Structure formats: C-alpha cells, structure tokens
Chains A and B, each alone.
Chain A
Amino acid sequence: MEKSPKKFYNPKADVRAKLAIVMGFSTIGVFVQHLYVLAFILLLSVIAAFIFKAELYKALRSTKNLWYIFLIIVVLQSIFIHSGRIFLQIGSFPVLTMGGILKGGEFLLRVAIIVFSATIVSTSNSREVVQGLIQMKIPYDIAFMVSVAIRFLPLLRNEIKDTFTAIQLRGIEIKKIPLKKRIRLYLYVFNPVVAGAIRKAHQLSVAMEMRAFRAYKGRTSLLHLKFCASDYFIMISMLLFTAAVFVIYYYLGFPKSII
C-alpha cells in the first residue's frame, strides 16, 4: 500500500470531524423515538460511512455474534410494551403487539446507527484517534491505553481460539459435555488466556517504560492534527443538522410513534 509521506498532519478528514459526525447521529439516535426519523438517520449514517469508505461489511460480520442478544432484547421489549394491534396472546396476556414490535424495531435502528456511524471513526488509524483525543484535551494516558487495547484485542482473540483448539485436541468434544461440566471446562480455558494476557501486558509495560513512557509530565507528538476547510464544513453542518432535528422535533411536540 503506497501512501504519500505524511508531513505532520493528515490531509484526509480530521478524526475530530469524524467524531463530530458519530456524536451527532448517535445523539439523535438516542433521544428521538420516532421510527421513520430513526430510519432516515440510519440511512444518512450509512451514506456517510460509504463516503468515508468505512468497512461496513467487516463491521457487520464482527457484530454477528451479538445479533442473538439484540434479537432477545427486541423480543423482550415487545413483550413488556403493549399497545396497538395484538398479534400473539397467551391467555389474557398480550405477548406480541404492534406497538411492542415497533419499539423493538426502534431499538434495532438505534444500535445500527451507533454501529454504522462508529465505523466512520475506524477509517482513522489508532494513532490519529489518540492524537485527536489528546488535542481535545483528553489525558494522554487514557487515550493511549485505549489504543493499546485496540491493538491487542485481535492477539487476545487468536489466543483464545488457540486455547479452545488445544483443549479439544486433547480429546474433549465440547458439544458432548453436559452444561455443568462445560462451565468447569471454560474455567480451564480461562486459565492460560488470562495468564497469557497478564504476561503480555506486563512485558509491554516494561518495554514502554524503557522507552521513557511517562518519564515526564508532558510529551511532544510527531503527528499534529490540523483542521482544514472541509473539516470545519463537516462539523458545522453536523451541528446545524442535529440542532435542526431537535428543533423540528420539539416543534412537533416529540411525536413518540407512528400509531
């Protein structure tokens, strides 16, 4: 991958502008409760993600394991919120109602908005994100630790995979083990993974200290982010758009749902 040597700032969109987009969409997503509005915001965030060439497909795949949890939450929401037409009833207790399903749908849309707009930030590398946070006055230590965690998450995932593989190769067919014994088994897997993670973290911290990490109160940075015209445009438009949505919403009296 050939990249022109960057000077001290990145000529692409500033990570802080991207953060502004994420914050704007996510804030609207959290406070607005109207299905159509949420769907529209989701559409906008997907378009924004495309514009920034975010890897949407990869994000979808990596959240695949959480889809079950989402589905359960949707079902639970619809069980506890009943209004409108009743689809399923047990005795005199409405289980699935039109209102409930719509509420569940709103929840899904909210999550989707947050996930998709977050992929926009992932188009900046971790060093840029850390620098953006620092220039927004977040302490370096915190920002840096987050970036290190991001760096090591895939390594951790691979180790967990290897450990699961290793224990099965010893002759254990996980699927055939009854649930009670299986929990004990997971503890056995837990052991090397945790020990390995602690060991790596320790070695890493020694290496960092040997390179003068936190030797002085402050630190300089090779990378320095500078806003350019398009960044200002993005941030101002986002601010105006978010404000407009809330004003219109307020003017219309915070409509809650479409029924």
Chain B
Amino acid sequence: MHPVEISDLYFKYQDGNENILNGINLKIESGKVTSILGLSGCGKSTLCYCICGIVPHIYHGEIKGDVLLYGKPVSGMLPGKIATITGIVFQDPDTQLFSPTVEDEIAFGPENLCIDRDEIARRIDICLKLVNMEKHRFDHPENLSGGEKQLIAIASVLSMDPSIIIFDESLSQIDREGKSRIKNVIFQLKNNGKAVIMVEHDPENLELADEIYFLKNGKIEKIEDLKGGGFAGFYRV
C-alpha cells in the first residue's frame, strides 16, 4: 500500500475562477524523495495541501477525486490523526516557530496529541539528535539562523512521528550552509523509510530526488531524463 495515492484529483479554490489541479494521478513511495517542480502559482503547494489535509480542512473549494493516505481518504480523517501521518514544513521559518525555547517548540505537537511527558521528553531527544541541534535545546528560536530555524521546524514536525513529510519550498530562504544541513536531514529521513515530498522551483535542490514530477496547467508529468534537456524544455515558457 502506498503512503500517498492520488487519483483523478481536480481542485478549484473557493474564490478561484478555474481548476488549479486538473486530473492529478500520483503515487508516492516510502523511503524515497519525490520532488514536484513547477513555476510559481502552478499549484504545487496546493497539491501538498491536499495531501496533508490543509485542503479541505482549512482551505475550502471544489474537490473531485481521491487523496488516500495508506488507503484511507484524507477528507474523512480528523486533524489529530492526520498530524500523526503527515507533517509539513513551510517556506518561512519565522511563522512556524512561536515558543520561547527550542524544547518547547518541539514539545508543542506531541502535547497537542496528549502524549505523556516521559514520551515527549524522549521524542525531543531523538528529534534534536536527528537534526543535530542538541546544543540549542534551551535557546530562543529567534536567535537562530534561518537554516537552524528550519531544522527546528523540521524537528517540531518529526516529533509527532509522521511517516510522510512534505517540504514546501523549505530551502528557498536558506543560505548554502543551511541548505546542506537540511539536505542531510532529508537524506536521513529517506533512509529511515519516510516518504519525503519536496516541492521546489529551484532545480538546484534536486540532488536528493529519486523521482521528479513537473506540474504544469494543473497536470503532472514525470521527468525521466534529468540531463537530456527534457528538463529545460519543461521550464521554457
């Protein structure tokens, strides 16, 4: 069973004029990094929102087709359940972190899930180790660099132990050093059997990708040959 199975997905935002997703068929696999590329506004983020439940639970619109997480439809799942299956890391580190210390930030998710304190403490240890930020456990997230903030955002999502993790252009505001640290973490997640989805518009961030798709005009196409120039052809407007 695939972690994510999308069949014939059509979606139009409530205040939109036309469909932003026009018949998407996609299967995401565990232990792999799936990259979804496309120009700004093409709907890549919307596709991710459909996978993690932001659509339809927070953003509303006309949706047709199925989005299944491990065989069960997202639309029928409660937000508490979705959080234990999918996590999403956004582009702007500043609007994902709101606690006075790193430890509190990572504890936030599990606390909402009513997990007991010993387990929460254990998860914080594991997540900090994974993102290599143990030294910063009691720091105020405000004082961290952009890359480090994203690492904490990742840890805060991982502490709920999701098996699908979405990165929605999470690297775009980060400098070279930060990017390499984050890519390291993504590599580890993939090796730990997670299903990783990376939404990107910068082809430079594709070195980790096992499968690459291109979203254009609401339809998705798999890119088989990265080097053969077919890639540039997708981007030619």
Do A222 and B104 form a contact, CB below 8 Å, given A8-B117, A216-B80? yes
Which residues of B (110-163) have their CB < 8 Å from a CB of A? 110-117, 120-121, 124, 137-139, 156-157, 160
A204-230 to B contact mask, C-beta < 8 Å, 1/0: 101111111111101111111000000
Q: How far is the CA of A127 from the CA of B103 in the complex (A)?
A: 11
Cross-chain contact of B79 among A3, A148, A215 (Cβ < 8 A):
A215
B101 touches A220 (CB 8 A): no
A211/B98 contact (C-beta < 8 A), A216-B114, A220-B115 known: no
Interface size on B, residues (CB 8 A): 43
Return chain B residues, CB-CB under 8 Å to A126: 99-100
Q: Does A203 contact B (CB under 8 A)?
A: yes
A5-B137, A204-B98 known; A222-B120 Cβ under 8 A = yes
A127 touches B117 (CB 8 A): no
Interface residues of A in 169-219 (CB under 8 A from B): 200, 203-204, 206-216, 218-219
CA distance A252 to B53 in the complex (A): 67
**Which positions 143-185 of chain B face chain A at CB distance < 8 Å?**
156-157, 160
B87: interface (CB < 8 Å): yes
Q: In the complex, which range does the number of interface residues on chain A fall in?
A: 20 to 34
Q: Which of A8, A204, A218, A219 contacts B95 (CB 8 A)?
A: A204
A1 at the interface (CB under 8 A from B): yes
CA distance A207 to B79 in the complex (A): 12
Cα distance, A21 to B57, chains bound together (Å): 44
Interface 1/0 per residue, A1-28 and B, CB below 8 Å: 1010110100000000000000000000
Does B108 belong to the interface (CB within 8 Å)? yes
Chain A residues whose CB sits within 8 angstroms of the CB of B100 once the complex forms: 125-127, 147, 151
**A215-B112, A222-B107, A222-B121 known; A209+B79 contact, CB < 8 A:** yes
Contacts of A155 in B (CB 8 A): 94
Please measure, in the bound complex, the distance between the C-alpha atom of A147 and the C-alpha atom of B97, giving whole angstroms. Answer: 12
Choose one: B87, B110, B112; the contact of A214 (CB below 8 Å): B112
Q: Is the CB of B114 within 8 A of A211?
A: no
B160: which A residues are within 8 A, CB to CB? 211-212
Tell me if B22 counts as interface (CB < 8 A to partner A): no
A residues adjacent to B (C-beta < 8 A): 1, 3, 5-6, 8, 125-127, 147-148, 151-152, 155, 200, 203-204, 206-216, 218-224
Other 9 A-B pairs with CB < 8 A, given A206-B54, A206-B58, A212-B84: A126-B100, A127-B100, A209-B79, A212-B113, A215-B78, A216-B80, A216-B112, A221-B111, A222-B110
A-B residue pairs, 4 tightest by C-beta? A215-B80, A212-B83, A203-B95, A212-B112
Q: 29 A-B contacts, Cβ less than 8 Å apart?
A: A1-B138, A1-B139, A5-B138, A126-B99, A127-B99, A148-B98, A155-B94, A200-B95, A203-B90, A203-B95, A203-B96, A204-B95, A204-B96, A207-B90, A209-B57, A209-B58, A209-B79, A210-B54, A210-B88, A211-B112, A211-B157, A212-B80, A212-B109, A213-B108, A215-B112, A215-B113, A216-B113, A220-B110, A222-B117
